[in-house]
Structure 1
Amino acid sequence: MRKLLFILIAYFQIVNIVIGQEKATYYEKVENNTFRFFFDKNYFLSDKFCEFKSIERVVPLNPKTQKFDGIFKDFNNNGRLILEGVYINGIKEGPFKAYHPNGTLKWEANFVADIPKGELNHRYPSNQLAMTLLYTDSIIYIKDFWLPNGTQKIKDGEGTYSFSIPFEGYNQYGFDFYMAKGKIRNGKQDGNWQILGYNKGSKETLIALEKYQDGNLLIGNDYYFDNSYRRTKFGIIPYDTFFRAESLTFKACNFDDFSNFNMFTSVELTNALSRMDPEGFTEDRFEYQFKLNKSGTPSKINFIKLTSSDYINNVIKPLLSNISFYYPSLENGVPVADTLTVTGKIYTNSEGKLTVLPIIIRREKGQ
């Protein structure tokens, strides 16, 4: 399964936009100013009855600002507590605790004025301490690090590091996880680092080499994708997407949105158009159609509509034609051949740059 490295999202207010679906239930009132919100595993708002709904948050809202305001608790689909903390009018304050699905502590941190301060401890599901991070105003230091068996590899900011992190959503590498390996000096990355991609049960594959000096990226060379020179910086510490809940960003209940595949197309097109002069262009749409086999390989696309700008069309047509993979359509959980219709909107954003958003994929045979 191919996935997207970029963790980029479009921010839409749920009160103003609903795309391509019937009225959805993203939240419901519990009592007074307390509400229950429904999210997928990456903290995008999800319909209460969507198969991708994974998290329920119970939290008070400030009636004037409509921001989280008070003690909140997040639960998984089994009703187990996975995160708790306090917001003061949308600002994270005080202790936050996250829990593994088995109930053991995952991490704990203290927030001051919306950012973590001091030491933050991460633990493995076994409750073995994994790492201690030190958060300052501008830098995150890796203070200590242990392997799952309890062997300490970094002490007081000195040692070697190797930690597995899941990719979020679709990425061009085709892996579910990546592992960063290298040296830590004074709590920061230093020297040569390897980035290895893998799926569970499969062999690790080199996808990038990086070189650091005192925590600063000097060279980022992406080998697995196309051998081009890239300044791509991979995160090396565990991250939690619960911050996204604060923006109340939703996704439609389909796998193309849930997997971030639609955003993959949007980002690629937006990057290609970013240096173009949008003078005279305000907004337009494009639409194309193609047949997709059950392996996810598309046939030659038929452009139903292109924009009014030949300049823009000459950029997006080859990019769209070169997309070599789409998620197959499913019937009763089995991949089937299908016909897909894809539409997109191109507009000039507030910074005067061309932006492609949203991308909507419609399948004749549904999901």
Structure 2
Amino acid sequence: MQRIGLFLLLLFTTLFAKGQEPDTTGNITLFEKAPMGLVRFYFDDYYYLVDKNCAFKSIERVSQFLVDKNVFHADFRDFDRNGTVVLTGYHNQGVKEGLFKAYHPDGTLKWEVTFEQDRPIGDWKYYYPDGKPMLTVNYDEAVVRIMAFWDRRGRQRITDGNGSYEFRMPFTFYNEYGYPFFERKGRIRNGVPRGYWTTHMVDHNERKTLYTEEIFNDSGMLNEGYNLFSDASYRTPMAFIPTSYFYTAERLLSKPCNFDDHSGFNTYLSEKFSAMLKSSPTLTNIEDKFSYEVSLDREGNPTAVTLKDALATTELNRYLEMALNEIPFYFPSLDQEGNPIADTLVVYGNLSVNGAGQFQFHSFRIVREKQP
């Protein structure tokens, strides 16, 4: 994943000065000129910039763009693969202002909200694909409040910020448990969660498994949170309301066109390693790189893991080798017909250790022997 600010500025300068289409190293096209002085940007489902010919490209944005400030400007429209408008809004030199509207794939309204000085104000209203109301979230105060909620049968379960809430959301990226959805359930009082809440993992066959238990105080703050899968307490609750990914577009982050990045698996590796190896009092101010080799069967199970490019110290490598064997699964490689095959992977990563000895693993990249 890359922040492309300076790269984008230089590329735009060349694009408009010479009147040419962009042709970056490796023939990657993240944006190009559109009629009437506009620019067309190419994003994946999560609003990361991707090559226009990438299989994961799913959204195209047409907007003005201020090269000197590196920001979107004026009205914009986002289109899906079928050319259907999925989002409209307005930027004033990069600042969100006025009414934003998102649409379901059939063109019906999905949600609407007004921004003022880049912040949502008033009610953010969500709708089911049939046009019926689903959820109203209020942003007038510092605390975000759920004010109304209707279930899929059309029954209003929350009125004036009070009632019961049961809402299902997809996992944004890869999770090692293999569940595509999680479901939040509990009581809402004065717009915020109150008392005992649960989160269940949900599979495609509607089987549910208890994932977390939480206790919220009268102010909606989490007092206790317990993850049954990892057998650990936590202090930050999972999401309550639908996630909006369009904010990411303004950060101008790009992703390579491969499934390990698109699925979030490389991000999962960063988080997994960082969670396993948190700190060391004897190691500080380190920047280093490493790589390891994984022999993978056709089901994605590691059969052998070997450290290739080691870190600088014996102590660090001892920690690292312990962590390598804790990754239970990798996405299998595919043959030309799309069938999973056994393969050998080389995984590259970076380690940063700050002055307090805290570890951060990042910039993971996977190279597959039998699949580009």
TM-score clears 0.5: yes
Give 1:211's aligned residue: 215
Give 2:80's aligned residue: 76
Give 2:12's aligned residue: none
The separation in 1 between residues aligned to 2:6 and 2:268, in whole angstroms, is: 25
Output aligned runs, 1:35-46, within 5 Å: 35-46=39-50
1:198 counterpart letter in structure 2: V
Deviations 1:216-265 (A, max 9, x none): 11111111x23222334111111210000000111111110001111111
Identity of counterpart residues, as a percentage? 37
1:318 counterpart SS class: helix
The separation in 1 between residues aligned to 2:112 and 2:193, in whole angstroms, is: 23
1:86 and 2:90 matched: yes
The correspondence for 1:107, drawn from 102, 106, 111, is 111
The correspondence for 1:130, drawn from 134, 139, 151, is 134
Bigger relative contact order, structure 1 or 2, given CA contacts below 8 A and separation 6+? 1
Give 1:250's aligned residue: 254
Q: Is the 8 A contact 1:295 1:328 kept in 2?
A: yes
How far has the Cα of 1:15 moved from its partner? 5.1
1:320 and 2:324 matched: yes
The separation in 1 between residues aligned to 2:171 and 2:141, in whole angstroms, is: 27
The separation in 2 between residues aligned to 1:234 and 1:78, in whole angstroms, is: 33
How far has the Cα of 1:289 moved from its partner? 0.9
The separation in 2 between residues aligned to 1:216 and 1:280, in whole angstroms, is: 34
Give 2:180's aligned residue: 176
1:347 and 2:352 matched: yes
Deviations 1:152-198 (A, max 9, x none): 11111111011111110111332111110110001110011110111
Give the gaps of 5 or more residues in structure 1: 1-9
- Greater Cα offset, 191-200 or 65-74: 191-200
- Structure 1 consecutive aligned stretches of length 4 or more whose deviation exceeds 6 Å: 349-352
The separation in 1 between residues aligned to 2:214 and 2:340, in whole angstroms, is: 38
How far has the Cα of 1:74 moved from its partner? 0.4
Q: Is the 8 A contact 1:33 1:61 kept in 2?
A: no
- Greater Cα offset, 261-270 or 152-161: 261-270
1:61 counterpart letter in structure 2: F
How far has the Cα of 1:311 moved from its partner? 2.5
Give 1:329's aligned residue: 333
1:162 and 2:166 matched: yes
How far has the Cα of 1:271 moved from its partner? 3.6
How far has the Cα of 1:89 moved from its partner? 1.0
1:131 counterpart SS class: strand
Q: 1:199 to 1:304 in 2, by over 3 A?
A: same
Q: Is the 8 A contact 2:284 2:356 kept in 1?
A: no
How many residues are matched?
354
Deviations 1:45-89 (A, max 9, x none): 111111111100111111320201110100000000000000011
RMSD (Å), alpha carbons: 2.1
2:179 counterpart letter in structure 1: F
Give 1:295's aligned residue: 299
How far has the Cα of 1:357 moved from its partner? 2.2
Q: Is the 8 A contact 1:35 1:61 kept in 2?
A: yes
The correspondence for 2:4, drawn from 6, 13, 16, is 13
How far has the Cα of 1:290 moved from its partner? 2.1
Give 2:19's aligned residue: none
The separation in 1 between residues aligned to 2:53 and 2:4, in whole angstroms, is: 20
How far has the Cα of 1:312 moved from its partner? 1.8
How far has the Cα of 1:347 moved from its partner? 3.2
Give 1:222's aligned residue: 227
2:234 counterpart letter in structure 1: R
The separation in 1 between residues aligned to 2:85 and 2:275, in whole angstroms, is: 40
Deviations 1:276-320 (A, max 9, x none): 358564422111112100111001211111111222222221111
Give 2:245's aligned residue: 241
1:284 and 2:288 matched: yes
Give 1:7's aligned residue: none
Output aligned runs, 1:46-65, within 5 Å: 46-65=50-69
Name the TM-score, length of structure 1 as normaliser: 0.91
How far has the Cα of 1:32 moved from its partner? 6.2
The separation in 1 between residues aligned to 2:349 and 2:321, in whole angstroms, is: 12
The separation in 2 between residues aligned to 1:306 and 1:16, in whole angstroms, is: 31
Q: Is the 8 A contact 1:270 1:356 kept in 2?
A: yes
Deviations 1:112-145 (A, max 9, x none): 1111000111000111100111112411111111
The separation in 1 between residues aligned to 2:193 and 2:349, in whole angstroms, is: 40
The separation in 2 between residues aligned to 1:249 and 1:189, in whole angstroms, is: 33
The separation in 1 between residues aligned to 2:76 and 2:233, in whole angstroms, is: 44
The separation in 1 between residues aligned to 2:282 and 2:31, in whole angstroms, is: 39
